[in-house]
Amino acid sequence: MRRMMQMTQLMLRAARNPVLRTPATVGLGFQDAVFKSTDGVEIRGWFIPSKVAGRGPVVLFIHGWLWNRIGNVAGNVPFVDRDVDFLPATRALHDAGYHVLLMDLSNHGESGSRLPVTYGPWETRDYIGAVNYLRARPDVDGDRIGVIGCSMGGNTALYGTPECQPIKAILAIQPAVLPNFNRNFARKELGPLGPAMVRSSDIMYLMMGAPLPSKHNPAIPARKLGNTLVQYVQGTGDPWGTMADVEAMAAATPNALPVVKYVSAGRYEGYRYINEAVDDVAKFFTTNL
């Protein structure tokens, strides 16, 4: 019961894992970025200027649940996870001539709060705030914005992009249909009674006036992405998300590449595409942004 309560708190409130490194770790200069979500929550992050002078393209990173702007540091959650590092890809994109924005979503890192966590629908307010911030910068070409979203961050990009076009390209790493993800996660981490617990989460969300988890499906907003090119990535060994769900998202997306089926032993090993396939990440944006 105690573990179930702990998981419920993390589901609703997330966690504020500390931001332990900066882009200086990989030799990059950076600026503090502070801006507002579309509903007024303060969002914090870093803007890494391109090495190319003048107005240029930018790639925005959107992290997953319980992470922060640099990715995930293993060992801070009550289940088995792995390190996921955004900084190598940040370095590669910078070297390819891009600006980069790393940010903490609401309820994570050093950004403000908005409860509950909705795994995409309300986090779009943070994402659109970030896009507005970028388009207000004189050094950013607002028509050449790319996005990398992991898990909840991938969901957020799919939900939010129809509201802030043009977005040229999205790399969506293991986005998920929330009721399916929650059921699989709860069964594996909480045992046979876990799925019943997550089915009841609609009641909590209804009481908080938030989007219902049972209605959460990124394939629905993906239909509205228009010309935005999307590359989906799904780990082959993911015990929580499903390849079928991600393939359905790709099928619903007007302009999607074939799903990258990344060989992995688990959920977090699939996320590690971002730091193990750095050349592929950079090539996707240099080709399409």
CATH of the domain at 143: 3.40.50.1820
Domain that holds residue 176: 2-288
Domain count, the chain: 1
In the predicted model, what is the mean pLDDT of the chain? Answer: 96
Residue 208's pLDDT is 96
Residue 1 predicted with pLDDT over 70? no
pLDDT tens digits along 136-170: 999 999 999 999 999 999 999 999 999 999 999 99
Q: 112 vs 39, 109, 123, 233, CA distance in Å?
A: 11, 9, 12, 29
Residues 24-29: what's their mean pLDDT?
97
Strand partners of residue 145: 58
Beta pairing, strands 84-85 & 31-36: unpaired
Q: Report pTM.
A: 0.97
Q: Which residue has the higher pLDDT, 15 or 256?
A: 256
Q: 206 vs 118, 180, 209, CA distance in Å?
A: 12, 19, 5
